[in-house]
């Protein structure tokens, strides 16, 4: 059985990737902090080979001999940490540790979760040829990590796949993010203020995202940078109104009550032509169906204290 090391496995993206790979018969080694909450991984807890980040963890990974690495872990994802250079720079040290594992295990493929934030201000559908001009520490350190990974991989004959992720949503997302926080507000409040809601985002369902990662892992793909995005940019107002209709039709939406923030992106979408040329057209769940499944998950689980 082939094995892959997944960092950040207890997070929103890492968990879904792990579930998808395990269902396909791929062995998963999960790297986590000692105090990580693994509630998202309950369904696969006994199927993962767990490794805690503590003294000697690199040797333990090497003994399990993964052939590939999927790097989802990132320190400083929350908004308050996005421009904290000291916090963001810690991610370089983890990457260096993983590169040492690449040497000892003769890793063949390294998949890294980059971000659309590397592009900086975006207002439209953007391709990988666009100049990366990050506007904060988060995007800047991501970009620095890409250069490190690229240089190392070229010297060590490793396929390096850098994925610039756009908006991903679905079950088990952090409850502070947009969709789960909206659902919770509509369950417990009567109204809320918004911008006009004309912003358009290409929301990608997390289960579709995980299938894309599986395809990239299991198929030959040229090294390089790839956007990962849906192909359907949806106005924020449309999304909010759909959630209202399913959760609380009497909830009052005050569109226009809040101003757009400075340098607000009004259209955030990745051109995935390059990715399609390598793996074919991904399967995309119809947006309303995916959003309905997401709403059902949160409305059923908000009473669970572990969520």
d(CA 6, CA 11): 11
Helices vs strands, H then E, count in the chain = 9, 15
Average pLDDT value over all residues in the chain: 96
What is the distance between the alpha carbons of residues 226 and 16, in angstroms, rounded to a whole number?
20
Q: Which residue has the higher pLDDT, 300 or 130?
A: 130
Instruction: Give per-residue pLDDT as tens, 144-186.
Output: 999 999 999 999 999 999 999 999 999 999 999 999 999 999 9
Query: How far, in Å, CA of 148 to CA of 154, rounded?
Result: 10
Q: What is the pLDDT of residue 1?
A: 74
Compute CA distances 78 → 43, 90, 177, whole Å.
Answer: 26, 15, 10
Which tokens go with 55? 């003294």
Confidence check: pLDDT of 200 > 70: yes
Going by pLDDT thresholds of 50, 70 and 90, the confidence category of residue 307 is very low
- For the domain 171-202+232-268+287-301, what is the CATH superfamily, name and number? UDP-galactose 4-epimerase, domain 1 (3.90.25.10)
For the chain, the maximum distance between any two Cα atoms, rounded to a whole number of angstroms, is 60
Q: What is the DSSP letter of 258?
A: S
**pLDDT per residue as tens digits for the range 252-269:** 999 999 999 988 999 999
- For residues 262 and 198, is the Cβ–Cβ distance under 8 A? no
Q: Cβ distance 78 to 137 under 8 Å?
A: no
Between residues 262 and 69, the one the model is more confident about: 69
- Tokens coding 87: 């916090």
Average pLDDT in the 281-289 region?
Answer: 98
The yes or no reply on domain 3-168+204-228 and CATH 3.40.50.880 is no
**H-only helix segments in 129-267:** 137-156, 178-188, 206-218, 236-247
Mean pLDDT of 69-84: 97
Surface-to-core class of residue 113, CB atoms within 10 Å of its CB (0-12 exposed, 13-18 middle, 19+ buried): buried
DSSP conformation letters of 262-287 = TT--SEEEE--HHHHHHH-PPP---H
Split at pLDDT 50, 70, 90, the class of 306 is very low
With vertex at residue 3, the alpha carbon angle to CA 306 and CA 71, rounded to the nearest 5 degrees, is 60
- State the pLDDT confidence band at 304, using cuts at 50, 70 and 90: low
Tell me if 48 sits within 8 A of 18, measured CB to CB.
yes
Length of the chain measured in residues: 307
Residue spans per domain, the chain: 3-168+204-228, 171-202+232-268+287-301
Per-residue pLDDT band at 301 (split at 50, 70, 90): confident
Q: Please give the sequence-ordered ranges of beta strands (E in DSSP) within the chain, or none if there are none.
A: 3-7, 27-32, 48-52, 68-71, 109-115, 124-126, 159-165, 168-169, 191-194, 200-202, 204-205, 224-228, 233-235, 252-255, 267-270
Q: What residues does 252 pair with on adjacent strands?
A: 191
Q: What is the mean pLDDT of residues 115-120?
A: 98
**Cα 31 from Cα 15, distance rounded (Å):** 11
């Amino acid at each position: 059985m082939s094995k892959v090391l997944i960092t950040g496995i207890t997070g929103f993206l890492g968990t879904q990737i792990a579930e998808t790979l395990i269902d396909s018969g791929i062995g998963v080694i999960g790297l986590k902090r000692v105090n990580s909450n693994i509630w998202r991984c309950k369904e696969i807890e006994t199927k993962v080979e767990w490794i805690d980040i503590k003294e000697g963890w690199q040797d333990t990974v090497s003994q399990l001999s993964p052939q590939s690495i999927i790097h989802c872990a990132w320190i400083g994802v929350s908004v308050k940490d996005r421009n904290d250079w000291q916090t963001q720079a810690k991610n370089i040290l983890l990457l260096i540790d993983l590169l040492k594992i690449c040497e000892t295990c003769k890793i063949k493929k390294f998949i890294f979760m980059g971000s659309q934030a590397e592009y900086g201000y975006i207002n439209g559908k953007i391709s990988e040829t666009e100049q990366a001009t990050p506007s904060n520490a988060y995007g800047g350190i991501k970009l620095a990590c890409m250069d490190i990974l690229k240089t190392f991989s070229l010297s060590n004959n490793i396929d390096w796949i850098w994925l610039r992720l756009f908006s991903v949503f679905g079950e088990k997302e952090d409850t502070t993010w947009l969709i789960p926080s909206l659902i919770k507000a509509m369950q417990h409040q009567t109204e809320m203020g918004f911008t006009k809601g004309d912003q358009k985002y290409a929301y990608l369902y997390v289960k579709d995202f995980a299938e894309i990662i599986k395809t990239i892992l299991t198929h030959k793909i040229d090294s390089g940078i790839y956007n990962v995005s849906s192909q359907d940019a949806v106005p924020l107002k449309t999304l909010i109104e759909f959630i209202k209709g399913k959760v609380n039709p009497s909830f009052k939406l005050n569109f226009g009550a809040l101003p757009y923030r400075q340098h607000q992106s009004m259209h955030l979408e990745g051109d995935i032509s390059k990715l399609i040329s390598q793996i074919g057209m991904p399967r995309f769940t119809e947006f309303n169906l995916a959003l309905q499944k997401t709403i059902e998950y949160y409305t059923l689980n908000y009473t669970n204290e572990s969520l």
